[in-house]
Copies of this chain bind each other. A is one copy, B any other.
Amino acid sequence: MKRPTIKDIARESGYSKTAVSFAFNDPSRISDKACQQILETAERLGYIPDPMARNFSLRRHLSIGFLLPQVVQYSLQNPYTMQVILGIGSVCEKYGYTLNLIPPLHKSITEAVRAAAVDGLITMGLQVDMDIVSVMKTRLLPYVTIDGIPHEEMPSVNIDDEKASYSLMKMVLDAGHTKLVIIGLSDDAFATEQNSNSVPANRLAGYKRALGDAGIACQAYQQFVCECTLADGIRIGKQILELADRPSCIVTMSDIVAIGCIQAFKAAGLHVPDDISVVGFDNIDEASCISPALTTVDQPAKEKGRLAAEALFKILNKESLASAHMQIPYTVIKRESLKTLSSIS
């Protein structure tokens, strides 16, 4: 039981392979009669041109890849990432491409990039000195990074994380909080080393600048580091509960972590925000529907995906990008999870 090929249709219909190919791709190049006979034969034998052979011959995949920054369980569990994927997906659809989600291969993201059968890649949290980048360059694979470290050779989509974090922390301080815990994010799985310009680093910088401006010593806060998952948020939340000197506010870098903390606090019988405040980052859908609703930074995840994908298609079409480093607006949103202790205006 084998599928018929173009050769079978040629033989069976009495025309050449060339003619068969034209019947499917450019009927105007052959006579109506030939076209009709060929298509009829194809129908009869159950012939559908092999997409891979076609793509191979045309040197294209009609697919762009989204490199999952972590294992599937983490990446796709994160609503923020999902929103990014939604944005990319809608652009793929528009251009008639598929969206290939690429998990680590044999635990290695670099391996996955070597083997990726796509026309271009969208990645998250990339810095230019990573192995992955050199593989993409070697393969001449166009790419755009979201939440990565902007670099000449690397088109990127970001918000101004430092400023956004500054504003968020300022809101926390203005609400009268002085005993803080900051929960940072570990750099992405494929980071070669901590970089002073990564998203987590920029957010931390923003938090610190706000603290500095408010004249609050760095000793005033403790710092934790966390994977960007609900489970790790819960874990850290429990650790915080054991602190001798309980903070009045937890400043995270991700809603999913903030929600994890809140769950841990609730489970321990604490009331948020009366006993302890928590602020997030991202404004995922859940942020507004949980109770208490999260104070957070709204970053347009879908728009990030959309912009990155549009940029990638521009590159694929050899058009030049208006700007290689796209920065889009954010909004700080005050909701219930941050309690106002006293006005220090």
Report the stretch among A151-159, A175-183, A282-290 that lies at the interface. Answer: A282-290
Contact across chains for A139 and B86 when beta carbons are under 8 A apart: no
Smallest distance from the beta carbon of A317 to chain B beta carbons, Å? 17
Most chain B CB atoms below 10 A, which of A51, A86, A98, A138: A98
A85 at interface, CB cutoff 8 A: yes
Smallest distance from the beta carbon of A49 to chain B beta carbons, Å? 8
Chain B residue numbers with a CB within 8 Å of A63 are 100, 117
A1 at interface, CB cutoff 8 A: yes
Q: How far is A3 from B141 in the complex, measured between Cα atoms in Å?
A: 10
Contact with B along A52-92 (1 / 0, CB 8 A): 11011000011101000001110011000010011001101
Contact across chains for B116 and A93 when beta carbons are under 8 A apart: no
Query: Smallest CB-CB separation from A107: which chain B residue?
Result: B93
Query: Smallest CB-CB separation from A293: which chain B residue?
Result: B291
Contact across chains for B56 and A115 when beta carbons are under 8 A apart: no
Contact status of A3 and B72, CB under 8 A, knowing A56-B53, A103-B93, A117-B61: no
Q: How far is A99 from B63 in the complex, measured between Cα atoms in Å?
A: 11
**Interface residues in A12-53 (C-beta closer than 8 Å to B):** 46-48, 51-53
Q: How far is A90 from B90 in the complex, measured between Cα atoms in Å?
A: 23
A329 at interface, CB cutoff 8 A: no
Chain B residue numbers with a CB within 8 Å of A86 are 72-73, 76-77
Smallest distance from the beta carbon of A304 to chain B beta carbons, Å? 15
Chain B residue numbers with a CB within 8 Å of A117 are 51-52, 55, 61-63, 98, 117
Contact across chains for B90 and A73 when beta carbons are under 8 A apart: yes
Identify which of B76, B139, B286 contacts A48 (C-beta below 8 A): B139
Q: How far is A98 from B46 in the complex, measured between Cα atoms in Å?
A: 28
Contact status of A100 and B98, CB under 8 A, knowing A55-B117, A72-B90, A117-B61: yes
Contact across chains for A51 and B89 when beta carbons are under 8 A apart: no
A312 at interface, CB cutoff 8 A: no
Chain B residue numbers with a CB within 8 Å of A3 are 138-140
Contact across chains for B56 and A61 when beta carbons are under 8 A apart: no
Chain B residue numbers with a CB within 8 Å of A103 are 89, 92-93, 98-99
Chain B residue numbers with a CB within 8 Å of A55 are 52, 117
Contact across chains for A140 and B1 when beta carbons are under 8 A apart: yes
Q: How far is A140 from B95 in the complex, measured between Cα atoms in Å?
A: 27
Q: How far is A266 from B51 in the complex, measured between Cα atoms in Å?
A: 50
Smallest distance from the beta carbon of A94 to chain B beta carbons, Å? 9
Identify which of B77, B102, B138 contacts A98 (C-beta below 8 A): B102
Contact with B along A116-146 (1 / 0, CB 8 A): 1100000000000000000100111000000
A-B pairs with lowest CB-CB distance, top 8: A93-B103, A72-B89, A76-B86, A99-B101, A289-B290, A46-B138, A72-B90, A72-B93
Contacts A51-B115, A100-B101, A286-B289 aside, 11 further interface pairs with beta carbons under 8 A come to: A48-B114, A48-B135, A51-B116, A52-B61, A56-B56, A65-B98, A73-B90, A76-B82, A76-B89, A76-B90, A99-B101
